[in-house]
Structure 1
Amino acid sequence: MHIFIGGAYNGKTDYVMRFYQPQQVVLIEGEVPMNVPTCDVLVIKNLETWLLTQQLEEDDRVIQTVVTRLKTLAQQCTLAVIVTDMGRGVVPMDKRARLLRDTCGRLYQALFAEAEQIVRIWYGIGEQIK
């Protein structure tokens, strides 16, 4: 599993699509698919959008569900996950927004532990951190 992280509108998707050229890439936004489409590389982005549709609680059930499903997908093809860095010390006023930020933080920690490669994208420039 390859993880690409960066702030909103920092060029993550463009970077990833260039990174995997000329392979056949399928991009899925805002969901965690049950099955792998036919492709060389499966790119999943906007996990935050999918998390908003889930029942978020302060336990790790949702996180374990996502990690397990992504690990299964990664066994079937090259899997790249694009995540948005939403921390940076800003604490949202809204309780649900705080819970989303905290859940994303715990999810990212779990994904980073499983990842073979992690690249931080800063305005279209990648820096490999793992």
Structure 2
Amino acid sequence: MHVFIGGAYNGKTNYVMRKVEGHKVAVMDGVLPEFSPTCDVLVLKNLEKWLVTQNLEEDDIVVAHLLTRLKTLEENCTLYIIVTDMGRGVVPMEKQARLLRDTCGRLYQALFIEAERVVRIWYGIGEHIK
């Protein structure tokens, strides 16, 4: 599992797509596939969109479920996960927005622990963190 993180519109997808050129790639945007597609590399982006559809009041359960699902998907394809850094010290006024930010933070921590590689993207330039 490889995780790529950066701010919105910082070139994460372009960076990843350059890395996987020449491979059979499946891209999922904001959804978690029910089954593993036939591919060399599965790119999952905007997991935040999927999280919004979940009960964020039970974020530990949501994060555990997602990690289990990702490990299953990883059995058939190399996973490249693109996530958006949404913290930056800003605390949203709305409760749901705060729950999403907090759940993303917990998810990202878990992903970073599990990941073989973590890259921060800053305007198209990758900085290897792990």
1:58, distance to aligned residue in structure 2 (A): 4.7
Number of the residue aligned with 2:39: 39
Number of the residue aligned with 1:79: 79
1:29 and 2:21 aligned = no
Moved segments of 4+, more than 3 Å = none
1:107, distance to aligned residue in structure 2 (A): 0.4
Gaps of 5+ in 1: none
**1:21-54 CA-partner distances (Å, limit 9, x unpaired):** 1111111001111211111100000100001111
Q: In structure 2, what is the Cα distance between the partners aligned to 1:104 and 1:52?
A: 10
**1:7-28 CA-partner distances (Å, limit 9, x unpaired):** 0000000000001111111110
8 Å contact from structure 2 (residues 44, 82) kept in 1: yes
1:59, distance to aligned residue in structure 2 (A): 4.2
**Counterpart AA for 1:120:** R
Aligned length: 130
TM-score by length of 2: 0.97
Q: How does 1:110-129 map to 2 (within 5 A)?
A: 110-129=110-129
Deviates more, 1:93-102 or 1:31-40: 31-40
8 Å contact from structure 1 (residues 4, 12) kept in 2: yes
Give the percent of matched residue pairs that are identical in Structure 1 and Structure 2.
71
Number of the residue aligned with 2:94: 94
Q: In structure 2, what is the Cα distance between the partners aligned to 1:112 and 1:35?
A: 23
Q: In structure 1, what is the Cα distance between the partners aligned to 2:59 and 2:92?
A: 19
8 Å contact from structure 1 (residues 58, 99) kept in 2: no
How much is the aligned-residue C-alpha RMSD, in angstroms? Answer: 0.8
SS of corresponding position for 1:28: strand
Number of the residue aligned with 1:70: 70
